[in-house]
A and B are shown apart, each in its own frame.
Chain A
Amino acid sequence: MRQWFILFKKECLESVRNFKWLWIPIVFILFGIMQPVTSYYLPQILESFGGLPEEALFDIPVPSGPQILAETLGQFSQIGYLVLVLAFMGVIAEEKNSGTQLMILVKPVSYGAYLTAKWAHMSLLAVTSFILGFSFAVYYTHVLIESVPAAHVIKGAVVYILGMLFVMTLILLFSTLFNSRAAVAFLTLGLTIVVSLLSSLMPNTMRWSPGMLSSHAYSIFGTGEGGEAMWLSIACTLLIISVMVGIAVYIFRNKETASHSS
């Protein structure tokens, strides 16, 4: 455990020095602010720059608070995930390809600890960035439009965070499988999109899937209650995450650290 914490601290220190702990939260904060602001000013912007007939303008109502929070999550699920995947696609490959990994794993270091420390760090950074960005979104929504009950906000955010952890775990799993960062990024984003698409197309067959979590979060913002079978998809996501971490550790242990050079 002590060793795990040392590995974890090293990951944090590295991300502080290469500014990941600065720019990733900043990106989330920016999108967290921009979404409520643009939603709020959208009718006025359209009005000033014209083009739309008068009657159409009345059809664009200022969205409700829960709606804006849901839109913010939508932004995070697109740009936020893209940024996180690109930032962490080299989480294993970088050290492996540069040869620094070999120097560490030749020491009495647990392969499992090495891997899970990296996973914990990137998840922590992702979740922290999300919480910061989302807090700004909530505050701006409160100032500009209306306040959403705090309990709803927190409950919805927790459900959404679980979906985020699912994506971070996908990055980890693909990182242990492939040495190419492009492959890791492509597969993680691809699979995330497929899962969320299938979930919105066939909500019944996909009721268990992590892709359902964001729609449950939207529903919580509005009513305080998740959609049908929310607990099923929460339980399944937790299970999938732990199984994926387990598989990643297993693969990583059995993969050779040193490559054959002639």
Chain B
Amino acid sequence: MNLITAESLTRAFQSTVAVDGINLSIKEGVCTALLGPNGAGKTTTLNMLTGLIKPTGGSIAFDERYHGDRRQYIGYLPQFPKFYGWMSGQEYLMYTGQLCGLTKKAANERAEELLTLVDLAEAKRKRIGGYSGGMKQRLGIAQALVNNPKLVILDEPVSALDPIGRREVLELMKKLKKTTSILFSTHVLHDAEEVSDDIFIMNRGKVVIEGGLAELQTKYQKPTIYIETEEEPDIWCRALKKKEWFRHMHLDKKQLTITVENINTAREELLADATLHKLKPLRFEVVRTTLEDLFMEVAKK
């Protein structure tokens, strides 16, 4: 069941086409990542889905079961969430909750619940103006959830955070995944791989690759062998290029990463290679790469 379907969605600004005829289908109960380098059109796409900007072409349809204003069913966290600095975290959540139609009492309960969820219960009476970046981001997630949305849209939810904040937010997203559908944008492949089920890769306003994470991984992932030696493997590894299982490699001093076609043949041959033994191998490891290669290729185009 698709929660939201966009067909040939287009948005042109005066001189540029930010989003160029993309098709998206966001499934219910799934965490979807919109992945792409900066300037790919991710934010514009999300803003069109939320209704903050109007498409210049194409259509957006929300699940028919949820009729009326689709803002009722969406929770949104912009890339740089801005709050009323003079309100406290609790006041802000109560305010947005009431705007979504909750009664004062219900809004208060919901605020308490969310403050606990995002771990801000202790700071709830403090002015938001005094919150740290990580706290603001967590409050941003809380306000996106205030109306129990069917779809939570997060724009670059972790990119501005330090490693600890990043981890916290990713864990929170994993928790949320169980109860609601998520659509988030990111320019970091690793984050997309960690939490998402579906991935849309965007570049220059177009969706270049789309599919389930597992599906993309089996399709595009290449097995890789990592070798670390004591001696310089420089001369030896040049000969590897002629092997029929060889795809490409990367040599960094004494650390060699080889992407191969057929892992079994490659492993057998390499382990039987007498020259390699003379280079005194320290490590020999079969690793699975991420989609990095694919992503880099797409981003370069």
Q: Do chains A and B touch in the complex (CB under 8 A)?
A: yes
Chain A residues at the B interface, C-beta cutoff of 8 Å:
3, 6-7, 10, 14, 17-18, 98-100, 102-109, 256-258, 260-262
Residues in A neighbouring B47, C-beta threshold 8 A: 258
Asked if B290 is at the interface of the complex by the 8 Å CB criterion, the answer is no
Residues in A neighbouring B288, C-beta threshold 8 A: none
Stretch of B57-65, B73-81, B259-267 on the interface side: B73-81
Residues in A neighbouring B101, C-beta threshold 8 A: 3, 108
CB–CB B83/A100 < 8 A? yes
Docked pose: A17 CA to B87 CA in angstroms: 9
**Residue of B39, B51, B81, B82 most packed against chain A (CB within 10 A):** B82
The 5 nearest A-B residue pairs measured at CB: A99-B82, A258-B52, A108-B71, A258-B47, A106-B76
Q: Is the interface of B mostly helix, strand, loop or mixed?
A: loop
CB–CB B52/A98 < 8 A? no
Q: A100-B82, A106-B76, A107-B96 are in contact. List 18 more A-B contacts (CB 8 A).
A: A6-B98, A99-B81, A102-B52, A102-B78, A103-B81, A103-B82, A103-B143, A104-B96, A106-B78, A107-B71, A108-B71, A108-B101, A256-B52, A256-B54, A257-B52, A258-B47, A258-B52, A262-B39
Closest chain B residue to A256 by CB distance?
B53
CB–CB B76/A104 < 8 A? no
Asked if B100 is at the interface of the complex by the 8 Å CB criterion, the answer is yes
- B160: shortest Cβ distance to chain A, in Å? 14
Residues in B neighbouring A98, C-beta threshold 8 A: 82
Given A102-B52, A103-B78, A256-B53: A108 touches B86 (CB 8 Å cut-off): no
- Pick the residue among B71, B74, B95, B143 that contacts A6 (CB under 8 A): B95
CB–CB A260/B99 < 8 A? no
- Pick the residue among A18, A106, A260, A261 that contacts B50 (CB under 8 A): A106
Residues in B neighbouring A104, C-beta threshold 8 A: 96, 99
- Pick the residue among B18, B82, B99 that contacts A109 (CB under 8 A): B99
Asked if B147 is at the interface of the complex by the 8 Å CB criterion, the answer is yes
CB–CB B39/A14 < 8 A? no
CB–CB B53/A258 < 8 A? yes
Residues in A neighbouring B220, C-beta threshold 8 A: none
Given A100-B84, A257-B53: A106 touches B99 (CB 8 Å cut-off): no
Residues in B neighbouring A105, C-beta threshold 8 A: 52
Asked if B10 is at the interface of the complex by the 8 Å CB criterion, the answer is no
Asked if B186 is at the interface of the complex by the 8 Å CB criterion, the answer is no
Asked if B268 is at the interface of the complex by the 8 Å CB criterion, the answer is no
CB–CB B44/A107 < 8 A? no
Docked pose: A6 CA to B84 CA in angstroms: 15
Asked if B43 is at the interface of the complex by the 8 Å CB criterion, the answer is yes
Mind listing 24 A-B residue pairs with CB under 8 Å? Answer: A6-B98, A10-B95, A14-B84, A18-B86, A98-B82, A102-B52, A102-B82, A103-B78, A103-B82, A103-B143, A104-B99, A105-B52, A106-B71, A107-B147, A108-B69, A108-B99, A256-B53, A257-B52, A258-B47, A258-B53, A260-B53, A261-B43, A262-B16, A262-B39
- B118: shortest Cβ distance to chain A, in Å? 16
Docked pose: A14 CA to B101 CA in angstroms: 21
CB–CB B51/A103 < 8 A? no
- A151: shortest Cβ distance to chain B, in Å? 42
- B141: shortest Cβ distance to chain A, in Å? 12
Docked pose: A227 CA to B81 CA in angstroms: 54
Residues in B neighbouring A258, C-beta threshold 8 A: 43, 47, 52-53
Docked pose: A109 CA to B86 CA in angstroms: 21
Residues in A neighbouring B18, C-beta threshold 8 A: 260
Residues in B neighbouring A260, C-beta threshold 8 A: 13, 18, 44, 53
CB–CB A106/B74 < 8 A? yes
CB–CB A99/B71 < 8 A? no
- A123: shortest Cβ distance to chain B, in Å? 21
Docked pose: A99 CA to B86 CA in angstroms: 15
- A115: shortest Cβ distance to chain B, in Å? 14
- B36: shortest Cβ distance to chain A, in Å? 14
Docked pose: A105 CA to B99 CA in angstroms: 10
Closest chain A residue to B14 by CB distance?
A260
- A201: shortest Cβ distance to chain B, in Å? 43
Asked if B72 is at the interface of the complex by the 8 Å CB criterion, the answer is yes
**Residue of B54, B80, B99 most packed against chain A (CB within 10 A):** B99
Docked pose: A109 CA to B96 CA in angstroms: 10
Residues in B neighbouring A3, C-beta threshold 8 A: 98-99, 101
Docked pose: A262 CA to B39 CA in angstroms: 6
Docked pose: A109 CA to B143 CA in angstroms: 14
Given A6-B99, A7-B99: A106 touches B52 (CB 8 Å cut-off): yes
Residues in A neighbouring B99, C-beta threshold 8 A: 3, 6-7, 104, 107-109
Docked pose: A102 CA to B53 CA in angstroms: 11
Docked pose: A256 CA to B71 CA in angstroms: 15
Closest chain B residue to A254 by CB distance?
B54
- A154: shortest Cβ distance to chain B, in Å? 36
- Pick the residue among A10, A99, A107 that contacts B78 (CB under 8 A): A99
- A2: shortest Cβ distance to chain B, in Å? 8
Closest chain A residue to B71 by CB distance?
A108
Residues in B neighbouring A108, C-beta threshold 8 A: 69, 71-72, 99-101, 147
CB–CB A14/B86 < 8 A? yes
